[in-house]
Amino acid sequence: MAFRVGCTQPQSYPEHTRCQPRRDFLVYHAMAIGLRNLSFLLLPGRCVLCELPTLRSADLCLTCEQAMADRQSRCQCCALPLPAPGWCGECQRDTPPFTRTITGCDYRDPARTLVLRLKHQRDLAAGRALAQLLYHHITPNYVGDNLPDGLVAVPQHWRRTLARGFNQARELANHLGTELGIPVIDNSRRLRHHPSQQGQNRQARLRNIKGSFDVRKTLDRRHVAIVDDVMTTGSTVRALALSLQEAGADRVDVWCVARTALEK
């Protein structure tokens, strides 16, 4: 089944065929934003980082948001920090199976603090703030109806989901799907359970992740975006992008909250 842009909320594949047209979503979205702004005026919130009161209709105060602002030149394909815009040497030598990567910031404090709070403490307010940060970098990079047709959260093995209680990538994808009117597609799973790859170099990560994903439904030449919290070597999104292409995806983008420097 084909899926459509314009859902009123993220939906699992294939139920998205029941989505309302994009025009209806835009009306709903405008009303939701208005109500959210009104709620912040009547009941001021607190910044999830500094905990100071804020009247902004966001979970970050302006000072903390500016501290997380991305001022890096990046690789146009994998978003690796570079001295000047262009393609990094790794992407030139071994072109990734994805078209572009959009990231919100470098993986350093204060963004790192929020990512760890989301991942290990299930701090959903931190997740919402990170999704808002990434959203502001996504929208300028797409023109008109060029947004992806669907979002694919990087899947976790069921053991990790059981231990952690949720998938932080899916949490981010849900927020972005709601804001952008794009369905979240449940068509992939992780076949193997790996211990944490923190501290492993790029080659070790590539060996560990190879053949780890299974995409169960055809994507029928669709444009999809992979959503994840942190991109380090790119091994995970490379493997998932290949599986999505094998399932028929015509184009794969990557959206990640934070990007680290390349590990050798």
Domain-embedded: residue 25:
no
Instruction: Please determine, for residue 17, whether its predicted confidence score (pLDDT) is greater than 50.
Output: no
Q: Does 30 fall in a domain? A: no
Residue 149 located in a structural domain: yes
What are 31-85's pLDDT values in tens digits? 765 666 566 566 667 899 999 988 776 788 889 988 888 888 999 999 999 999 8
pLDDT band, very low/low/confident/very high, at 242 (cuts 50, 70, 90):
very high
Taking only the tens place, the pLDDT of each residue in 122-157 is 999 999 999 999 999 999 999 877 999 999 999 998
Is 1 a residue whose pLDDT tops 60? no
The count of domains in the chain is 1
Contact 105, 70 (CB under 8 A): yes
Residue 57 lies inside a defined structural domain of this protein: no
Q: What percent of the chain has pLDDT above 70?
A: 75
Higher pLDDT, 234 or 212: 234
pLDDT of residue 27: 66
pLDDT at 222: 92
Here the CATH number for the domain that contains residue 156 is 3.40.50
Q: Give a yes or no: residue 31 inside a domain.
A: no
Per-residue model confidence (pLDDT) at position 74: 95
3-state secondary structure string, the chain? CCCCCCCCCCCCCCHHHHCCCHHHHHHHHHHHHHHHHHHHHHCCEECCCCCCEECCCCCCCHHHHHHCCCCCEEECCCCCEECCCECCHHHHHCCCCCCCEEEEEECCCCHHHHHHHHHHHCCHHHHHHHHHHHHHHHHHHCCCCCCCCEEEECCCCHHHHHHHCCCHHHHHHHHHHHHHCCCECCCEEECCCCCCCCCCCHHHHHHHHCCCEEECCCCCCCEEEEEEEEECCCHHHHHHHHHHHHCCCCEEEEEEEEECCCCC
- Predicted model pTM: 0.80
Q: What is the pLDDT of residue 54?
A: 82
Task: Report the pLDDT value the prediction gives residue 214, as an integer from 0 to 100.
Answer: 85
Residue 239 lies in a domain: yes
Residue 106's domain comprises 73-259
pLDDT band at 212 (very low <50, low <70, confident <90, very high): confident
Q: Is residue 14 part of a domain?
A: no
Domain assignment present for residue 110? The answer is yes
